[in-house]
Amino acid sequence: MIAVLALWAVACLTLPLAAILLMATLEPHIAQNLLDGTQAFAVAESGLEVGLWRLRAGARPEGRVGVGEGQAEVHATVIDGDHVALRSIGRVRQARRVVVNLVQRDVAGDGQWHFAAAFREED
C-alpha cells in the first residue's frame, strides 16, 4: 500500500516538474524570436530612411544596407516624377519584417524629397 502511495506521489510531482522544465527551455527561444522581430522592424525602418537619403542625394534608392546584426533590402517603385513608393525588407537572423512608405518631392518648396505619409507594415 505504501509503495502505491509513493508511486502516486512521484507521478503527481513528475507532471508539474516536466511542465516547468519545458517552459524553461522554450522561453529563451520565444524571447529571442521576439527580439529578432523587433530588431528586423527597426532595420526595415532604417532601410526606408536610407532610401530617402539616397533620393535626396540624387542616387537610386534601391540597394542593401547593413544595420547592426541585420540587413535591409530597399526597393523603389516610381509612381510619377514626384512620387516614389519605397519598400524595405528588414532581416535579422530568421526574422523578416517589411515596411512601405510613399515619398514625394516638395515641388512648391525646396524641391527636397520627404515622406508623404506614415509608413505601414506588410506581411
Q: Go through the domains of the chain in sequence order and give each one's CATH number.
A: 2-122 (3.30.1300.30)
Contacts of 21 (CB under 8 A, 6+ apart): none
Whether 63 and 45 have beta carbons less than 8 Å apart is answered as no
Task: Identify the pLDDT of residue 73.
Answer: 97
Q: How confident is the prediction for the chain on average, in pLDDT? A: 89
pLDDT for res 87: 97
pLDDT higher than threshold 80 for residue 20:
no
pLDDT at position 102, please?
94
Higher pLDDT, 56 or 10: 56
In terms of average pLDDT, the best of 8-17, 41-50, 112-121 is 41-50
* pTM strictly above 0.85: no
Q: What is the pLDDT of residue 104?
A: 93
pLDDT one-digit tens code per residue, 56-115: 999 999 999 998 889 999 999 999 989 999 999 999 999 999 999 999 998 887 889 988
